[in-house]
């Protein structure tokens, strides 16, 4: 009898250990996702792309990440520059004054575009709070579901917004994300990544952008609403002319 029990106990212990190894922390999930999507290349490379008739640049200058937005209006070229908490506007290479309230608005707009393009890299920023909500199935595929909130200090103007990410259990790629927002009357958005491509080792995607057909549901239920066809497509978010160097 002992000869039978001992092997069975060993098999049970090994199985339990293997199962425990599969249970990842939210930090491990995000780290794996960032590594798959490009890792340190996000900061080491200069990235340019076009989005909705504007050019964008992300580059390191003197050890600091700098975001730019370039707009051409007739004979005038406007270059908006966000460097840390500072904002500058140049018109045909001449620095112009911008009122503080408008500077904050422009800086937030630039940061928002670069934030989504660089995902999931920003999920390890100091102001980010991550919580693993468990697993959820979307379109017959199981994902890690992660909730993200932000500290007021360093979390930007929209620090009260809540984000959700669905990471593929095998590849750790964030196939879906959602968020609520409170400006301009508030609302919710759900994004589905598509057209994945890697350029010099950095992952880029486009998004289908959805909103709920009815108001009032919790942001935590938006994945369920997508499965049930209760979201409507608002737009597509497409990046063009991407260069990584």
User: CA-CA distance, 109 to 73, in Å (whole number)?
Assistant: 18
**203-211 average pLDDT score:** 97
The domain spans of the chain are: 26-244
- pLDDT value of residue 85: 87
Query: Can you name the residues that pair with 188 across neighbouring β-strands?
Result: 180
Q: Between 182 and 2, where is the model more confident? A: 182
Show the tokens assigned to 132: 């693993």
Fold of 26-244: outer membrane lipoprotein receptor (LolB), chain A (2.50.20)
45-99: pLDDT as tens digits:
999 999 999 999 999 888 888 999 999 988 899 999 999 889 999 999 999 999 9
- How far apart CA 235 and CA 113 sit, in angstroms, is 15
**pLDDT, average across residues 5-11:** 47
Say yes or no to pLDDT of 109 above 60: yes
Supply the Cα-derived Rg of the chain in whole angstroms. 22
Report percent pLDDT > 90 for the chain. Answer: 75
Rounded to whole angstroms, the Cα distance separating 137 from 72 reads 44
Reported confidence tier of residue 150, pLDDT bands at 50, 70, 90:
confident
pLDDT of residue 182: 76
> Is the pLDDT assigned to residue 156 strictly greater than 70?
no
CA distances from 22 to 18, 26, 92, 123 (A): 7, 12, 55, 22
Q: Does the pLDDT value for residue 10 go beyond 50?
A: no
**Count of residues in the chain:** 245
Distance between CA atoms of residues 39 and 64, nearest Å: 17
d(CA 126, CA 119): 15
Neighbours of 122 (CB within 10 A): 17
pLDDT at 62: 83
Q: Is the pLDDT of residue 15 over 60?
A: no
């Amino acid at each position: 009898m002992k000869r039978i029990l001992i092997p069975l106990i060993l098999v049970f212990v090994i199985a339990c250990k293997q199962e425990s190894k599969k249970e990842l922390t939210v930090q491990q999930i995000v780290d794996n996702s960032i590594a798959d999507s490009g890792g340190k290349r996000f900061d080491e490379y200069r990235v340019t792309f076009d989005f909705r008739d504007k050019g964008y640049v992300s580059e390191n200058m003197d050890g600091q990440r700098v975001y730019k937005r370039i707009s051409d209006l007739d004979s005038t070229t406007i270059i908006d520059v966000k460097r840390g908490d500072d904002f500058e506007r140049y018109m045909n290479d001449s620095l112009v004054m911008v009122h503080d309230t408008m500077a904050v608005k422009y800086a937030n707009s630039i940061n928002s575009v670069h934030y989504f393009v660089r995902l999931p890299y920003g999920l390890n920023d100091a102001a980010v709070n991550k919580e693993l909500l468990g697993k959820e199935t979307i379109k017959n595929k199981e994902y890690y579901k992660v909730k993200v909130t932000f500290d007021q200090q360093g979390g930007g103007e929209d620090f009260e917004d809540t984000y959700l990410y669905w990471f593929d259990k095998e590849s750790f790629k964030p196939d879906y994300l959602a968020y609520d927002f409170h400006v301009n009357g508030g609302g919710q958005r759900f994004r589905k990544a598509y057209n994945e491509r890697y350029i010099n080792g950095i992952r880029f995607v486009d998004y289908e952008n959805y909103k709920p057909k009815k108001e009032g549901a919790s942001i935590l239920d938006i994945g369920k609403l997508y499965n049930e066809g209760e979201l409507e497509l608002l737009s597509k978010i497409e990046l063009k002319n991407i260069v990584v160097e």
